Amino acid sequence: TYIGSIVASVNPYKSIPGLYDGAAVERYSKHHMGEISPHIFAVANECYRCLWKRHNNQCILISGESGAGKTESTKLILKFLSAMSQHSLELSCREKTSCVEQAILES
């Protein structure tokens, strides 16, 4: 469940098909936090949006007891951020300019 910009999650200790696949990455990348059901990808997407759209530094704190899934949560966040970065790279290649080049051109 969401608590502001915090997501409280429980390790199900079993695999749930479709919960963390490419379709989930795609779904959460298109929505703001709180628009669809709570998910770790929603938190990662909010951080990604704040980092690139608002130019605000971001930090994600993952906390829990031993065996709660902190390492797996970190891997999932990195998976999401990697997918989003790859998507941004593909867009900039299509536009023939990178974010850095665009910033230089706008200065």
| Type of residue at 89 | L
Residue 34, marked binder:
no
pTM for the complete prediction? 0.77
Low-confidence ranges of the chain (pLDDT < 70): 1, 89, 91-107
4 is known to lie in a ligand binding site: no
Q: Using N-to-C axis directions, what is the helix angle for 22-29 and 70-94, rounded to 10°?
A: 70
Res 107: pLDDT? 43
30 is in an annotated binding site: no
**68 annotated as belonging to a binding site for a ligand:** yes
Q: How many domains does the chain have?
A: 1
Report whether 66 belongs to an annotated binding site. yes
What CATH number is associated with residue 92? 3.40.850.10
Which secondary-structure segment (H or E) carries 3?
strand 2-3
Q: Is there a binding annotation on residue 26?
A: no
Residue 46, annotated as binding a ligand: no
Cβ 62 vs Cβ 8: under 8 Å? no
Quote the pLDDT of residue 56.
Answer: 79
